[in-house]
Amino acid sequence: MQYQNTCEFAQQLDEQDSLKTFRNKFLIPQHNGKDAIYLCGNSLGLQPVSAKRYIAEQLTNWEKLGVEGWFEGDDPWLSYHKKLTPILSDIVGANEKEVSVMNSLTVNLHFLLVSFYKPTTKRFKILMEGGAFPSDQYALESQVRFHGFDPKDAIIEIFPRSGEDTLRTEDILAAINENAGELALVLFSGINYYTGQFFDIEAITKAAHNVGVIAGFDLAHAAGNVPLKLHEWGVDFACWCSYKYMNSGPGGISGIFVHKKHFNEDHNRFAGWWGYRKDKQFLMAPGFDAEPGAEGWQVSTPPLMLMALHKASLDIFEEAGGLPALRMKSEMLTGYLEFLINEINLKKGKELFKIITPKEPSKRGSQLSMVCTGDAKGIFNYLSKNGVVGDWREPNVIRLSPVPLYNSFTDIFNAERVLAGSVENI
């Protein structure tokens, strides 16, 4: 598409947008009595208008039914989680039995590592991207220590080449092959939180499997953002949060994927009663007998209010037609933002804002990360004071994320106007 730097062009794109009415399904934060330009969905998605109703329905069930709410009413709590898995499995590209809704992200990562990180004296190392989100780093450090290894020896981090901002897939695959004899696990993000790079999950998984290694992924910034085919790609396990692109509230409930090829294996796992076979769950018998599928990794009674918030958002995804329709708009929004940022650089004759997110749409999601020259924090504060909500990362990176469900092309145009103004006023 040939983008134009005019308000009329942005408005024209909005008029042609088949998803434009979905903005009305979300509550936009206000700034000076007007909608803020919210470009921070990669950190926390906006609240669906329906969220209060979904919560109220469950509060009413609790009020009227008490403990019988587990078995009675229109949405008995005992099976409520099953209402989430059909659309969620579409979002991550899985069979329904391969997906479960439970816990929070890092908790799920730990539970999955109990089952899938099986170090030996020879093969005990974990390969991961350098600069992964700190929670992943801490989780892996604690896991290898739990097994008696030193993280300095057991964790291999891959960083971009000198002078480059993102990892080359060829370097990831080479590192897998070079360390094949010592690897027990390859664990990557789906999308790197800092740069916004969308990793080639299929290629990484294939390379890991070629050398007999398990491949797992943290999809915190990928789920609900980019098309995923976890089952088809043969991914062994994955987990994600729901409060970013899936708009399910701060600290919203998480999800896991376990490929069906692992269902009949004898797994180590930290078990709890909610993962017990559903047909015998209330016999309260000793000895853990896992529910077949990903549900067998469940542990605790699910938090119904968090699941209700999740359902409010997932129902919107389903109404919008899922990821294919959203991805098309996402690429256009992100491309338009990229065009407008580069327009600022061209007008000033220098790269004031260096975009470190990959240029190719297939290698990124709804996010652009830019290194700011000059007073980077001052620029970020200027954006905030003028109603543009983005995300700051030390030492000089601003992340802006146009989300197709609730951002418009006019949002993007107006955000660029404020960004351009920061250059003149900081």
Element (H, E) at 183: strand 183-189
Q: What is the pLDDT of residue 276?
A: 95
Check: CB of residue 277 under 8 Å from CB of residue 31.
Answer: no
Q: What is the pLDDT of residue 131?
A: 93
Q: What is the pLDDT of residue 194?
A: 97
Q: What are φ and ψ of residue 198, in 5° steps?
A: -90, 110
Q: What is the pLDDT of residue 376?
A: 95
Question: How far is the C-alpha of 57 from the C-alpha of 55, rounded, in Å?
Answer: 5
Instruction: Please state which CATH class domain 55-320 belongs to.
Output: alpha beta
DSSP state of 91: H
Q: What is the pLDDT of residue 210?
A: 98
User: Would you say how long the chain is, in residues?
Assistant: 426
Q: Is 232 helix (H, G, I), strand (E, B) or coil?
A: helix
| Residue 317 CB neighbour total at 10 angstroms | 22
Q: Is 130 helix (H, G, I), strand (E, B) or coil?
A: coil
Residues of the chain with CATH 3.90.1150.10: 7-35+322-425
Pick out the chain residues at pLDDT < 50: none
Can you say whether the dihedral through the CA atoms of 284, 286, 291, 292 is positive or negative? Answer: negative
Q: What is the pLDDT of residue 1?
A: 84
Residues of the chain with CATH 3.40.640.10: 55-320
Question: How far is the C-alpha of 221 from the C-alpha of 421, rounded, in Å?
Answer: 30
Q: Tens of pLDDT along 179-217? A: 999 999 999 999 999 999 999 999 999 999 999 999 999
Q: What is the pLDDT of residue 156?
A: 98
Q: What is the pLDDT of residue 4?
A: 97
Whether domain 7-35+322-425 has CATH 3.90.1150.10: yes
Q: What is the pLDDT of residue 378?
A: 96
Q: What is the pLDDT of residue 215?
A: 98
Q: What is the pLDDT of residue 11?
A: 98
Task: Provide Rg for the chain, Cα atoms.
Answer: 22
